[in-house]
Amino acid sequence: MKSLLNRTTTFLAAVTLLVAACVAVPPPAPAATYNQTHWVKRSIPGAAGSIRDIQVQAGTPERVSAVVSGSTNLYSSQDGGTTWSQTPSLSGTPFLALAESKSIPGEFFALDSNVYTYRSVNGGGSWSKVSSFAPPAFSLDTGPNPNGLVATTGVASIQYTVDKASSWNSVASPMTNSRAVAGDPDTADVFYAAEHTALPAPVYRSGNGGQTWAVCGSLPNTVHVTSMTVLPYGGPVLAATDTPAVDCLYRSNDGGVNWAASATGFPSGTKVFSLSVSGTSPYIAYAATDKGVFASYDYGTSWSDISGDLPAKGYRSVSASGGPLNAVFVGAHDGTVYRTISPFLTGIYPDSGSVGDLVTLSGVNLGSGSGSRVSFAGVDTTDCVSWSDDRVRVYVPKGAQSGGVAVITPEGCSNAVDFTITSPVEYNWYLAEGCTGISEEGNFETWVLVQNPGGSTATVTLTYMTPGGVIKGPSLQLDPNTRQSVNVADTVDNAWSVSTKVESNHPVIAERSMYWNTPDVYRQAAHDSIGVSAASKTWYLAEGCTGISEEGNFETWVLVQNPGGSTATVTLTYMT
């Protein structure tokens, strides 16, 4: 609790809201590089031109479509590129561009050179023509509004639609040769576009789905902008270029107003032709270049070469599915397609053990370990002695249970191998809220309630977390089918902010109850919340109110606990 609440009516409202705010937040995943990526060739039969564009369904790497320069066929695969089907252009002209809906996974859109527009609702499994507009056109993109798309034309106009491309509207544009457009995945109807001509490159923004455009900023060099993308969850806008002798990538953290070079990790003189980001892996961006394929694991700030065993040649297009089965597809200038290979485990030795034991995982495509982790039946750890492409030596983490063990890398999640825990497992509960504060208006009580529903005696240890640091709490012995209550003030008295960690060697249930006493009324108000059994990177709190009326007012507090060993950067977003 931040402060003593002023009136009884206020407290009654606020404590109800605090129940929803009892959360534990771990540190965010660290930025990482990943240099040992494995690829497999997934060529399109008969494709001879450059892979102009490629699109894989978000979260579903089996579904991918590709545009081949000069080809009047649109190519699609439903098995991750192993086999491909063809959809002929109804205008008899080559296909140009692809885009996926940012709100409906698997809803694809495509353009051909006569600007017939095609739509698929099954990740490219089948296509139908929905409309057309007067040529030319170069690229298109979507935003979070499922009905809105914008297409660039390369002349002084922009096309936009508000009905899933069933019809298009042409508007005058200040851009004379724009070929790059990107929809903001978070903000409906916000799009960015930039010029492809050798001008002091302005960047344009539309806040109404493409109907009007205005300059929002300028890139610091004279460049050809080849591709743009916007990272989700308030991430930056990225702009790529193939202009020699300048930085190949630029980044804006303020909606396109200010731009700075963000090319750390690219070789000098790199030309970037395509950018990709997936909403299911929001921190990661990919770039297809004339010098291989690169990835950024820190919102586009720095880049790592993930070409791995790719042939040394130029790559024109890139798309990533994201998610736990993440696959990255790249298209080369010579018409070949490649995709990343997920890690695969062949065994674990020993296949049983205790928390803290060292075990060895064997497999293939395990990578270098950077940005990776091992999951023991859902309990993740990075506490590894060594990590190579075919072997990982890792300690069994606290809280691990018997079940499947998997390796998770930036390129995907492996299969699981069985592991049995042979010693008591530690079980944790986290209680973010607590207060034992005292003032002349009254005082708070906080109690930690622990139940042992099992058939064995549980040893339970409480640890209190305060703004001043960790305070060791009491230890309990709970017989089978019993409960105990612990008064937090017995250890931490007159403290306004107290979080609790409950540890046990057997499964238990932990709650936290709070009471408000005034000088006149004992326990005038109270509320209770069960704890959470694990920390998480994202929490949603549906309830909240700061309303004021003549009858009283509400206060809403979001309470955050970090039980981890590193500083956590926490961002709050309010939805009204």
Residue 6 is predicted with a pLDDT of 33
Q: Note the pLDDT of residue 281.
A: 72
Beta-bridged to residue 404, according to DSSP, are 418
Nearest to 266, CA basis, from 244, 247, 253: 247
The reported pLDDT for the residue numbered 83 is: 95
For the purposes of burial, counting CB atoms within 10 Å of the CB of 67, is it exposed (0-12), middle (13-18) or buried (19 or more)?
buried
Q: Are 169 and 160 in contact (CB under 8 A)?
A: yes
Is-contact 119 165, C-beta < 8 A?
Answer: yes
Q: How confident is the model at residue 506 (pLDDT cuts 50, 70, 90)?
A: confident
Distance, in Å, from the CA atom of 172 to the CA atom of 163, rounded to the nearest integer, reads 20
- Give the strand pairing for 391-395 and 384-387: antiparallel
Residues 6 or more apart from 46 whose CB is under 8 A from it? none
Cα distance between residue 69 and residue 331, in whole Å: 11
CATH code of the region 39-340? 2.130.10.10
Determine phi and psi for 352, rounding to 5 degrees: -150, 155
The answer for residues whose C-beta is within 8 angstroms of residue 569's C-beta and 6 or more apart is: 27, 28
Asked whether the predicted pLDDT for residue 20 surpasses 70, the reply is no
Neighbours of 233 (CB within 10 A): 13
Angle at 147 between CA 145 and CA 148, to 5 degrees: 70
pLDDT at 198 exceeding the cut of 90 = no
Cα–Cα distance measured from residue 143 to residue 123, given in angstroms and rounded to the nearest whole number: 17
pLDDT of 292 over the 90 cut: yes
CATH fold, domain 8-21+432-561, is Hypothetical Protein Tm1070; Chain: A (2.60.290)
Residue 509: pLDDT band with limits 50, 70, 90: very high
Q: What is the pTM of this model?
A: 0.63
Q: Distance between CA 76 and CA 319 in Å, rounded? A: 14
Handedness of CA 538, 539, 542, 547 (dihedral sign): negative
Q: Give the residue, 473 or 174, on which the prediction is more confident.
A: 473
413 against 394, higher pLDDT: 394
> In this structure, are residues 389 and 367 in contact, taking their beta carbons and an 8 Å threshold?
yes
pLDDT of residue 557: 86
Cα–Cα distances (Å) from 246 to 9, 219, 224, 249, 267, in that order, read: 63, 11, 10, 9, 12
Q: Is the pLDDT of residue 190 over 80?
A: yes
Q: What is the pLDDT of residues 225-276, one digit of tens each?
A: 999 999 999 999 999 999 987 899 999 999 999 999 999 999 999 999 999 9
Sheet arrangement for strand 384-387: 344-349, 358-364, 391-395, 384-387
Distance between CA atoms of residues 115 and 170, nearest Å: 13
Q: What is the Cα–Cα distance from 444 to 516, expressed in whole angstroms? A: 5
What is the SS3 assignment for 530-551?
A: ECECCCCCCCCCCCCCCCEECC
Higher pLDDT, 199 or 526: 526
Nearest-10 Cα torsion for 367, 373, 376, 379: -170
Q: Do domains 8-21+432-561 and 352-421 have the same CATH topology?
A: no
Q: What are the boundaries of each domain within the chain?
A: 8-21+432-561, 39-340, 352-421
Check residues 536 and 509 and name the one with the higher pLDDT.
509
Q: What is the mean pLDDT of residues 370-380?
A: 90
Per the CATH hierarchy, to which homologous superfamily does domain 352-421 belong? Immunoglobulins (2.60.40.10)
- Who's near 269: CB < 8 A, 6+ residues apart? 244, 245
Structure tokens at 264: 């750390």
Contact at 8 Å (CB) between 152 and 180?
yes
In the structure, what pLDDT confidence band is assigned to residue 423 with cuts at 50, 70 and 90?
low
For residues 408 and 382, the answer to whether their CB atoms sit within 8 Å is no
pLDDT of residue 336: 95
Contact 377, 403 (CB under 8 A): yes
Reported as a single tens digit per residue, the pLDDT across 275-288 is: 999 766 778 899 99
CB contact set of 528 (below 8 Å; sequence gap of 6+): 19, 511, 512, 513, 514
pLDDT in tens, 60-118: 889 999 999 999 999 999 999 999 999 999 999 999 999 999 999 999 999 999 999 99
